[in-house]
Amino acid sequence: MKKAFITGVTGQDGYYLSKFLIDKGYEVHGTIRRSSTFNTKRIDELISQYSEKKILNLYYSDLLDPSSLNSLLQNIQPDEVYNLAAQSHVAVSFKNPHFSVSTSTNGPVSLLESVKNLGKEIKYYQASSSEMYGGVSTDYLDENSIFDPKSPYAAGKVFAHHMTKIYRESYNLFCVNGILFNHESPERGETFVTRKITRGIGRIIHGIQNNISLGNLDAVRDWGFAGDYVEAMWLMMQYKEADDWVIATGEAHSVKEFLDISFNHVGLKWEDYVKIDEKYIRPNEVNHLLGNPNKAKNLLNWKPKVSFEDLAVMMVESDLKLAEQEKVLLEKNLISKTWED
């Protein structure tokens, strides 16, 4: 049985990747940060199904603690390492640049060093990001496009991307960079714009929220489904040689388009419920990101399965159910509102 080691296992991508690898017959090992507010909600179902069977194994660790990472890798002896952990919210990286950059730079270097020193052939995946391009160009962006980061988050990712290439070329390691464009799902963090929209719609329909406050509605992104994208991660690791890969749909859509589809699905007009709040405008806005996934399509035989429209509807339907549950709990005074009204 192959072993996979995943940092960021409790995040959106960590959940979908763990599920995908377990279905492929892997033994999955993942790290969680020591925190009193730590939440394993996304993977609780996987924990209940697979932890006792030792198919899913969780460990307390931190990307900023190289000794603990090295010790874990020495004990586990994984076949594949997937580095998904990061402070991944771009806006937050402006508010807390030190932590965001440290996680995105020191963490990957610690992992790469551990992989190099382990003494066995391990494949390493680094989660790069489309934010590295900076959104200056409206053209299709591919593996050879120039990086022009516009946030602390993106700058850290550029560093990690180049370090992964350096370790690949200097030490002949199997290290890949997955440059994933925006990928969403019902498991997306609730502060990300797509999920904020669908969470708000669910609560508006059930009468427990009045409005949704957003920033730049004209921002254009290449949005796909996270479940499709983790398959691409795995395919990169099975390819005959290590390389860098753009994973995207090749379609560009604005935040307004996501609003249109999502609100239309429940028979409402978004203009009646969405407010623009300047605090959600980034200091250095990225206006347009569109990926060219032809390399992955041609060499990995990968293509996205879920369309932009189906993705929006999937997320709305999921959040309608969540809001229905929240309404019941509010009526019974079992929870209080923790969201904007």
Q: Which residues pair with 212 in a beta bridge?
A: 274
Long-range contacts of 327-336 (CB under 8 A, 24+ apart): 327/206, 327/207, 327/208, 330/208
Cα distances (angstroms) measured from residue 143 to each of 129, 231, 243, 288: 11, 19, 10, 17
- DSSP assignments along 4-23, one per residue: EEEETTTSHHHHHHHHHHHH
Active-site hit among 26, 82, 125, 153: 153
Active-site hit among 88, 93, 129, 185: 129
Strands 3-7 vs 220-221: parallel, antiparallel or unpaired: unpaired
Task: Mark whether 151 is an active-site residue.
Answer: no
Q: How far does CA 160 lie from the centroid of its chain?
A: 16
323 touches 315 (CB < 8 A):
no
Cα distances (angstroms) measured from residue 327 to each of 110, 202, 265, 267, 315: 45, 10, 20, 20, 18
Task: Mark whether 131 is an active-site residue.
Answer: yes
Strands 80-83 vs 56-60: parallel, antiparallel or unpaired: unpaired
What's the CA gap between 65 and 83, in Å, rounded? 14
Query: H or E segment at 59?
Result: strand 56-60
Task: Mark whether 80 is an active-site residue.
Answer: no
Nearest to 82 by CA among 35, 15, 134: 15
Cα distances (angstroms) measured from residue 53 to each of 70, 75, 185, 327: 25, 18, 28, 36
In this structure, what is the dihedral angle of CA atoms 267, 272, 277, 280, given to the nearest 10 degrees?
10
Active-site hit among 27, 131, 187, 231: 131
Which residues, in sequence order, are CB contacts of 26 under 8 Å at separation 6+? Answer: 1, 2, 3, 4
30 touches 10 (CB < 8 A):
yes
Q: Which residues are catalytic?
A: 129, 131, 153
